[in-house]
Amino acid sequence: MEKNRTIFHRGYGLALLSGILLTVSFPSFNIFPLAWVALVPLLLFLYDSDTKTAFKAGFLFGTVYFFGTTYWIYHSLNKYGNIPFIPSLFIVLLLCLYLSLYPAVFSSLYSSFIKRMNIPSLFLVPVLWTTLEFFRSYALSGFPWSSLGYSQYLFQPFIQIADMTGVYGVSFLLAAVNGALVDILMLRRKQKERPLASFLPTYSGLALLALTLIMTFAYGFYRLYQHREGHSVKVAVIQGNIEQDKKWDPAYQQSVLSAFRDLSLAAAREAPHLIVWPETSVPFLYGSDKELTSRLLSFEQQLNSYLLFGSVLFRDSESVKGYTNSAILLDKNGNITYIYDKIHLVPFGEYVPLKPLLFFVNTLGAGIGDYVPGESYIKAVTPFGSFGTLICYEIIFPGLVRKFFVKGGDFMVTITNDAWFGTTQGPYQHFSMAVFRAIENRKPVVRAANTGISGFIDSNGRIIGKTELFKRTYMTREIRTDTKVSAYTKYGDIFSYLNIVCFLLLLVGKKNRDIGRRCNAFTE
C-alpha cells in the first residue's frame, strides 16, 4: 500500500511538471525551448508504470496541459454567454477532460509497448503522440488547438518542414527528441539488464534522429533564404476595436461605421491595393438593410481600393437558407466581385451540434449566432492577385486551408473577431497558428482582427508586422506573393497517414507478441 501511494505521488508530480512545462511553451509565455524536454518527466514515470497507472498519469498531464492552454474559453462564456464565473470554468474543465483522454491513451499505450516490445522511445513516442494529435484534430468536429508543433512558431529554421508535413511533422520531431532523451537517460539502467547488442536499435535511432534534425535545419535555412517568384501587393488591415457587447446594438451602428470609415480613409492615403476589415465588421445585414448598404457602397468608392469585409448575410435560395458568416469583396466601383461563406462553423458558437439532443443549449447557440455553413472553397480573383479568405476559427485547420490553394493562389486573408477572449492567451495563440498556415502553403497571410491581433506574415512564416490588442488602429504593409505550390498543399496529410499506418502496425505487432507469449506460457 505504501509503495503504491509513493508511486502515485511520484507520478502526480512528474505528470504535473510535464503539463506545466508544456503549457509555458505556448503563447503568450513563449518559452518554446521547453517543449523539447517537456514530455521527459512524464515518460520517465510511464517507463515503470502499469497501463492503469499510466492512463491516470496521462489524464492528469492532459488536464493540466489543456486547461493551461485553453482556460481562456471561460471569458466568452462568462462575459458574453451570461454564464457565471465558476460554471464557465467548469464547462472549460469538461472540455479539457475530454481532450485529456488523448494523452491518457498515449500514456497507456506507451507504457504497454515499452515493456513488451524492444522499440526505442525515440520511435515509439512520436508515432503514438502524433497519431493521436491528428485524430484529435478531426474527431467530433475537430479541436486542433494546442498541438505540440504550434509551440515552435517563433523557431523559424525548425518549422520550415511544415510545407511538406504540416504542423504534425513538427510535433513528430519534438516528440522524437523527448523520446530520445528518455532513451539516453535509461541507457545505463538498461545496460545492466540486457546485453549490449539489444541497444543497437537505440544507437542507430539516435544517429538517425541526429541526421534528421541536421537535415531539418539545413532545409529550414535554405527555405528562409530561397528566392521565390512573386510580386508585391500593398494591403491595409483595419482594427476597429469595437466592444463585443455594443457591436450589434442599433444605437452604436453609426459609431461603428464611423470608426471603420475614419481608419479606412487614413489607410487609403497610402494607396493600398486592398483594405481588409475584420469578421462581421459591419453592424447590419449587408444587402438586407438597404439604407446602410447604400451608405457603405458610397463610402467605399472614395477609397480607390478594393475592400474586403466580414458581414452576416441572409440567404434564401434552394441551396442555402438562413444566415451565413461571410466575407464580401467590393471593387473600386463598389461592385461585389466575391462572396465567401464560412465553411467550418464553431460548435456552440455559430451552431448547435446534435440540436435535437442538445435542445437545452439552443438559447445559447441562437444568442451567439445560428448560421448555415458554406460549401465552396472559392478564391477572390483581382488585378493584384488571387486569395482565399479564412474566417476566424477556420485558420486553425490545415486540411481546410490547403484546399483553397491546390490550384494555385497568391496569398491568404484571415478575418476574425477575437474580442470574445479579452486579454487572455487566446488571441496570441490564434495568431501564432496562422504562421504555420503560411509555411504549409507558402502563402503570405494578411490578418484583420476586430480587437487584435492584426498583422502580416510572409510565406516563410516570419511576422512582418502586428498590432497590439484592444487598440483602434490600422496597419499597411507590402506583402510579396509566392507562386509556389507546396508539397503539403498538393498532397495534404500524407505524412500523418503514414504515421497512422505505423501506429496500426505497432498495434498489430503488440497483439501478435501478446498471443505468442500466451501460447508459450500454455505449452510450458
Q: How far apart are CA 117 and CA 137, in angstroms?
A: 28
User: Exposure of 185 by Cβ count < 10 A (0-12 exposed, 13-18 middle, 19+ buried)?
Assistant: middle
Q: Give me the catalytic one of 96, 133, 392, 440.
A: 392
**Sequence-separated (6 or more) residues with CB below 8 Å from residue 56:** 11, 104
Q: How far apart are CA 329 and CA 313, in angstroms?
A: 13
**Sequence-separated (6 or more) residues with CB below 8 Å from residue 467:** 237, 239, 449, 452, 453, 454, 455, 473, 475
Active site residue 379: no
Residue from 483, 452, 488 nearest 469 by CA: 452
Cell numbers linked to 368:
451567439
Query: Phi, psi at residue 312, to the nearest 5°?
Result: -85, 130
Residue from 396, 484, 302, 369 nearest 69 by CA: 396
Active site residue 394: no
Q: Give me the catalytic one of 96, 300, 342, 440.
A: 342
Active site residue 392: yes
Q: How far apart are CA 186 and CA 43, in angstroms?
A: 11
Q: How far apart are CA 18 and CA 16, in angstroms?
A: 6
> What are the start-end ranges of the H helices in 160-199?
162-165, 167-193
Give Cα separations from 196 to 117, 188, 201, 210, 488 (angstroms). 16, 11, 11, 21, 41
Q: Give me the catalytic one of 279, 300, 350, 394.
A: 279
Which amino acid is it at 434?
Answer: A
What's the helix, strand, coil split of the chain in %, to 5? 55, 15, 30
Q: Show which residues are catalytic.
A: 279, 342, 392
